[in-house]
Each structure stands twice: as C-alpha cells, then as structure tokens.
Amino acid sequence: MDIVDLSLTVTPGMRGVSMTSANTLKQDGWNAANWTLYSHSGTHADAPIHFEASDQTIDQMPLQSFMGKAKVIKIAHTQPKQWLLPEDLGEAAESVDTGDCLLLHTDWSQHLNDTATYRDGLPRISDELAQWLVNRGVKLIGVEAPSVADVNNLEEVDRIHKILLGANITIVEGLCNLNLLRPEVFFMALPLKLENGDGCPVRAIAFNNDVSFT
C-alpha cells in the first residue's frame, strides 16, 4: 500500500511539548520517557468540548469521525491571513459528497519554522466556507495551518469552531505532506482515547491507492 504520513513530528520545544528521561537501560533495564503534551500540539484533532459546541469529548467521538474517503483540494497561492471562501475550492468542490472528508492543500506547512507566518498569519476558513461545509454534509475538515481560524482573534476562532464542531464536523489541524496525495484518498487521523479530552495529537495518514475501507 502507498501510505503517506501527514503528521508533524512531535518534538520537545514545540509549543506545549517537553520530554524528560524516566528510565534508562543502563540504570533500570529499559528506556522510557515522560512526555508533556499540550492537547492541541502538532497535528491534532479538536473535540466539540474544545469550544463547548457540545459537551462531547475526544474519547466519546466515534472512530468513524476520524476517518473516511477524502477529497484533497489544492488552493494555490494562499496568502497570509487570507479568508478561504467556497469559490477558492474551484471545480473540485462539485465532487464533494455528504460524509466526505475534505483536506485543504494550501502548502501552509512549508511555513512551519516561521512562527510569525505559520501561526499568526495563517489562512482562515471564512464563515461562508464553514457554512458551505455544513450544508454539504462534510464529515471532517483537515487543514495544514495550526488552526481553522485566527488564533489571535478569540471571537473569530470561537465562532468558526462552533459552526464546524456544532455540526459534528471533525477538525484536524497541522497537517503536512498533502502535496504527496492524489485528489482522492482514504484518510485516518486517530487520537489517543483521553478521558474528557478537548483534543489530542493524532497520527494522520492517507492511503494513496485504492483500499476496501468504507
């Protein structure tokens, strides 16, 4: 199978991430570490409780919420702080069906090492696009930016998340390697089963070749 890893490497020093040694082979007979992970670090999924769109937590979300047939839509020449609109999806939007996952290929992950651009200048899902996703019955939206909305604008980030999460659209943020994908793939982004979790880092992957999953 042609499987593409769409996940950022979780690295100590990343926002909210640290690691210390817990055991060593020399002293204890095995190697182990203690990790501290911010629940929305790296490539991650949001639960509705994150913005209280509902009281559903990450461990209560069905596994089907994190996987499915995905359309990969290229949005070329994305600019900092650009509002992403339904028309930006182009003709590919017509092929989006109820229950699909939608992955927005903006090349934004190339700015990962430039925090001022990657986090503070990210392209944002507009109210119009958010409502379009709801109306089309999209199951999951995946973006390369660390958020679907301006993280420095609390009103905006709250509003856009509530539109999406309130319609049971799973949000996966911080994707990479979308340039390696075909226009249609099978996508999976499984979080840890964290009790009462508001979100969790995921290992996001896509099957580039035809698979029998439904």
- Residue 109 is given by DSSP the state G
Q: Is the dihedral of CA 155, 160, 161, 166 positive or negative?
A: positive
Two structure tokens written together for 26: 């020399």
Mean pLDDT of all residues belonging to the chain: 96
The model's pLDDT over 79-89, given as tens digits with 9 standing for 90+, comes to: 999 999 999 99
The answer on pLDDT for 214 being more than 90 is: no
The model's pLDDT over 121-159, given as tens digits with 9 standing for 90+, comes to: 999 999 999 999 999 999 999 999 999 999 999 999 999
State which H helix or E strand residue 21 sits in. Answer: strand 17-23
The model's pLDDT over 38-90, given as tens digits with 9 standing for 90+, comes to: 999 999 999 999 999 999 999 999 999 999 999 999 999 999 999 999 999 99
CB of 167 within 8 A of CB of 135? Answer: no
Coil vs helix vs strand at 129? helix
The answer on pLDDT for 213 being more than 70 is: no
Give me the half-sphere count of Cα atoms (radius 13 Å) on the Cβ side of residue 121. 14
Q: What is the mean pLDDT of residues 9-28?
A: 96
pTM of the model: 0.96
- pLDDT value at residue 114: 94
- Residue 26 is given by DSSP the state H
- pLDDT value at residue 38: 97
C-alpha distances in Å from residue 5, one per residue of 138, 180, 184: 22, 9, 15
- pLDDT value at residue 209: 80
- pLDDT value at residue 1: 82
Q: Which residues pair with 204 in a beta bridge?
A: 189
State which H helix or E strand residue 165 sits in. Answer: helix 154-165
Give the domains, in start order, of the chain with CATH numbers: 3-10+39-207 (3.50.30.50)
C-alpha distances in Å from residue 213, one per residue of 4, 49, 96, 172, 188: 16, 29, 18, 20, 11
